[in-house]
Structure 1
């Protein structure tokens, strides 16, 4: 018969190894889901989300606030998670914002043609079957007529000299990255951005 101390050490080792393997598994699943979201592979993204939801079905859905107190109301939980994701995902405004100076009509027309060419080129290089954002505009839809799509996107930005708000909005998918799901820091977010917004960023418009 094994001594009690030896048994306790073995038990502690097994529990530690199990926690470590579970943590590694969840992190691998989250990374795979993030890559699937980038590729627009909604089938793999759905499977991983479904499997993780089943695996953590025994875990409570509540989270704790910054003081370690459980948040009971659903709207308070959503507000806490929204604040957490805003903190880790949003970037600060640049210290020196871009200043657009007035240009001659001819020069603006030349720049307009060049920017439209870059947008059309970015549309052609975009991969098909990617996940869409809140506007549900797909790459395939823009590729049906790249010239017309580039013109519409450019005019939408050129008239207001800023990227429309709908291009900056995205769908946030919540995934766990740690075992303790009570902690709001145990969650990571994958943001599905607008396809036109990503094309404008790629083209530098």
Structure 2
């Protein structure tokens, strides 16, 4: 494995490498200090090479820290790499032009690695469609038009000879429409900085460039003073914008609470409180051993949920439950219609799907099916009727994505994690149709 250590170590290692030829080069800055001795010893013990001392550069491209008065510059930020990967390190230098509002310069390293392809295909399920576009009338109209055009083209093709291929054809049409019209959601955070603050940021960047271009000490002190003033302006503007944004979010939360929109209220509250949890947090095995690798954790969660969903986990015997129900209702005719799903039943089931629910393995969210219900019914109803008549279910309908939700208590214990299963929307539609028939029959008898 390759090991890379980098950061502000407050260690000056200098340029004298006698006795440390395997650890550092001769292109360091200044003289070694106590932290530098500790760092070089650490690297020698762990077969590491200090990258910033290997490559010849101008001193201004090697120093990583400037004192507040601008008089002192040192190389105290370092990057160390495994000695066996020394040839993979092509360059290490600072980038003074990167304006990060700090007295440290950005340190950039160039690595060249030969990585063996794993052969694992990119999973489109990991990327969510930008459903927000469907909240606008223009986005809805564009989606309807694209969906209808693709559906009309599908009508000209020969029908498939089995349910599985029928389902694949339908999902491909829906996914292609989503990618064309919606695209994928951008995971970047919302930008709450105002235009005035961004102009101050640009002004600070220009001041930083003047500091780096200073030729004399007096020029540098003057440029540094201007940079410090620009930096204070940026911080004041950012605080002002953050307060304004928080006030706006609070107003939106009040409006959501007034109309009973609990989802929006919860999302805003979580965003403002910054509450979250580490999804890759270690878990314990049955024996109490802490599992840190992703593969070990996955196997442990698999073991846990198999036990939870096992028939022997303490739940009631399903056959005995049905038998007892039959004994309690011996004389009632509770026969349910076994006719294939109708257009009206499917239309009602699609309308009952809740927005904002995460999709299953098919990555088709409920909003996509509800944009144009007429076309959705014409597209999906033949598949549902074929499933019903042939009593064959597509493979994706048999799969569910188990998402672990932490409960109170020790999160390293699997028993403190609650699992929810994400199913395909089409299988939910069929389940709602069956449930509707059962409810109608039972309510008619009560």
TM-score range, shorter chain: 0.5 to 0.7
The CA deviation at 1:91 is 6.1
The CA deviation at 1:79 is 0.7
Structure with the bigger percentage of helix: 1
Question: What do residues 14-45 of structure 1 show as CA deviations (whole Å, max 9, x unaligned)?
Answer: xxxxxxxxxxxxxxxxxxxxxxxxx987x839
Task: Indicate whether 1:138 and 2:365 are aligned.
Answer: yes
1:123 aligns to what SS in structure 2? helix
The CA deviation at 1:85 is 2.1
Aligned residue pair count:
146
Task: Indicate whether 1:44 and 2:267 are aligned.
Answer: yes
**Which runs of 5 or more residues in structure 2 are unaligned?**
1-261, 321-337, 436-446
The CA deviation at 1:71 is 2.4
**Other-structure match for 1:83:** 303
2:358 aligns to what SS in structure 1? coil
**Which runs of 5 or more residues in structure 1 are unaligned?**
1-38, 97-109
The CA deviation at 1:155 is 3.8
Conserved 8 A contact 1:120-1:149 = no
1:180 aligns with one of 404, 410, 415: 410
Q: RMSD in angstroms over aligned alpha carbons? A: 3.6
Greater length-normalized contact order (CA 8 Å, ≥ 6 residues apart): 1
The CA deviation at 1:63 is 1.6
**Other-structure match for 1:196:** 426
1:111 aligns with one of 323, 339, 347: 339
**Other-structure match for 1:120:** 347
The CA deviation at 1:164 is 2.4
Question: What do residues 69-90 of structure 1 show as CA deviations (whole Å, max 9, x unaligned)?
Answer: 2224321211111221233246
Counterparts of 1:126 and 1:72 in 2: how far apart (Å)?
Answer: 38
The CA deviation at 1:111 is 1.9
2:298 aligns to what SS in structure 1? helix
Q: Structure 1-normalised TM-score?
A: 0.55
Structure 1 64/40 Cα, relative in aligned 2: closer, same or farther at 3 Å?
A: same
Structure 1 196/82 Cα, relative in aligned 2: closer, same or farther at 3 Å?
A: same
Task: Indicate whether 1:74 and 2:294 are aligned.
Answer: yes
Q: 4+ residue stretches of structure 1 with deviation over 4 A? A: 89-96
Q: Structure 2-normalised TM-score?
A: 0.28
**Other-structure match for 2:383:** 153
